[in-house]
Amino acid sequence: MTEKSTLILTRLLLITSAVIFGYFLIITIANGYWIWGENLDFTATGQFGDFIGGFLGTVINAAAFYFLYLTLNEQRKSGQQQSFETKIYDIIRLHRENVKELEYTKFARGKMQTSKSRKVFRVIVQEFMDCYHEVHRFCKMYPDTTILKSEYELILKNIIEENKLRVSTRELALLDIAFCFFYFGVGKESETILLHKFFNRYNKNFAHPLKIFIQLKPKQELGNMYRYWENFKCLEVAKMKDEFEKIYRDSLKSEESLYNVEKHYLFENLKAEKYYGGHQHRLGHYFRHLFQAFKFLSRQDFLDYDEKYFYAKSIRSQFSTYEQFILFFNSLSSLGMKWEYTSDINNEPSNIEPNDYKFITRYNLIKNLPGSQYYNFTYRKFYPKVRYEYLDDLTYTNKISNDPRSTKSSTEKLRKRLRLCVFLVS
């Protein structure tokens, strides 16, 4: 029972009791029975008094029981609220601990450097962007190659339509491929995982050569091997394609057939430690914990939306800018689409609606991303309903107001209102 309905019922009970008491009082006076009256017959009035006392006593007892119920119910809700808040603060504490434990050592600026805690996210976001740009570099060599299998392309089209995205299936596919390479890595240990992930989604004639292309990039500390890669990626597209196809043909041959055969200078990079070693061991637990936190919050049926949003903000306030970036990219990949695009409410309580599990939009989890885009990723193309922080920026507001399209739209709306006013007056 809601607070509003409880208040209405309480008022109704009090009014009913007052009306009944007033009715019997009026009837008593109308029949000549008055406490200071001369014709008071105690035999008759005693029986009448017993009747009134018994009736009103029952009403008063019922009211007392009802108010006792309200008191106990309020205590139960208070205990439930306290237990829930304790859980939320535990979630926040665990999130801080997960972030604090992060550590990543990488070669940069001529030496090995270790990033810790929140600084790790900045490094790995840049690493993802490197991978994404290299996927696009490969696509320039093979612009006409079919990427998606027809069944999965249809699934992506449905996602785009249902969520009103302003992106193509190709954009989502390339982002997903890049994120999988970045997340699982491209070493031998990830071969089976990537094969499983890509098998029903992407054409092998595209995905396999692309993986070999990404594998050519070794760790930066490997000196000459990394310099070979740097020189290779600076080639013109046609020249790069010729060089890569030589390497790719050799990669398909057995080691015996390549024995004593002159190979491309970059071929040895395929055996080297990879630049993209993967981050599953760093980010897997981080994402699972966050997802379960917002799932737990959304399941609390004793909270209304505003209360849930308040607690979601408490969790969201723990995110650094680069944490929001990595959450953004994860949610656009097949690994994290359940954050929004493919929210699943099967086996959930009956009070859960599909929109309850669209966490990114429902709780504005990426609203603090700076500006309106990051590299080529315009946030609103992917999440049009999020209330981004930059929308409140004065510069952006002025830009919109000075946009001729915006002015034209506002003028048209004003004309419609004027026509409506004229119609109502006439």
Amino acid identity, position 425: V
- Distance CA(46)–CA(55), nearest Å, equals 14
The per-residue pLDDT for 424 is 42
What's the average model confidence in pLDDT over 269-276? 94
- Distance CA(376)–CA(86), nearest Å, equals 41
What's the average model confidence in pLDDT over 202-218? 96
Query: Looking at the predicted structure, is the pLDDT value of residue 54 above 90?
Result: no
pLDDT category at 48 given cuts 50, 70, 90 is low
- Distance CA(255)–CA(375), nearest Å, equals 41
Query: Looking at the predicted structure, is the pLDDT value of residue 173 above 80?
Result: yes
Q: What is the pLDDT of residues 94-128, one digit of tens each?
A: 999 999 999 999 998 889 999 999 999 999 999 99
Query: Looking at the predicted structure, is the pLDDT value of residue 204 above 50?
Result: yes
Structure-block tokens of residue 36: 């200071």
For the chain, give the percent of residues with pLDDT over 90: 61
Of 56-60, 250-254, 373-377, 398-402, give the lowest mean pLDDT range.
398-402
pLDDT category at 326 given cuts 50, 70, 90 is very high
- Distance CA(362)–CA(35), nearest Å, equals 66
pLDDT category at 426 given cuts 50, 70, 90 is very low
Q: What is the pLDDT of residues 116-160, one digit of tens each?
A: 999 999 999 999 999 999 999 999 999 999 999 999 999 999 999
What's the average model confidence in pLDDT over 297-325? 94
What's the average model confidence in pLDDT over 251-268? 74
Q: How many residues does the chain have?
A: 426
- Distance CA(309)–CA(208), nearest Å, equals 44
Backbone angles phi, psi at 111, to 5 degrees: -155, 165
The per-residue pLDDT for 423 is 43
Query: Looking at the predicted structure, is the pLDDT value of residue 46 above 80?
Result: no
pLDDT category at 343 given cuts 50, 70, 90 is confident
Beta pairing, strands 373-374 & 111-116 = unpaired
- Distance CA(71)–CA(77), nearest Å, equals 10
Extended strands (E) in 351-406: 373-374, 377-378
Residues 277/187, Cβ–Cβ less than 8 Å: yes
Query: Looking at the predicted structure, is the pLDDT value of residue 222 above 70?
Result: yes
The per-residue pLDDT for 109 is 83
Structure-block tokens of residue 360: 């990114």
Query: Looking at the predicted structure, is the pLDDT value of residue 182 above 80?
Result: yes
pLDDT category at 425 given cuts 50, 70, 90 is very low
Instruction: Pick from 14-23, 66-75, 296-305, 402-411 the range whose average pLDDT is largest.
Output: 296-305
Please state whether 371 falls in left (phi above 0), alpha (psi between -120 and 50) or beta: left
Query: Looking at the predicted structure, is the pLDDT value of residue 215 above 80?
Result: yes
Residues 148/173, Cβ–Cβ less than 8 Å: yes
Mean pLDDT, the chain, whole residue set: 85
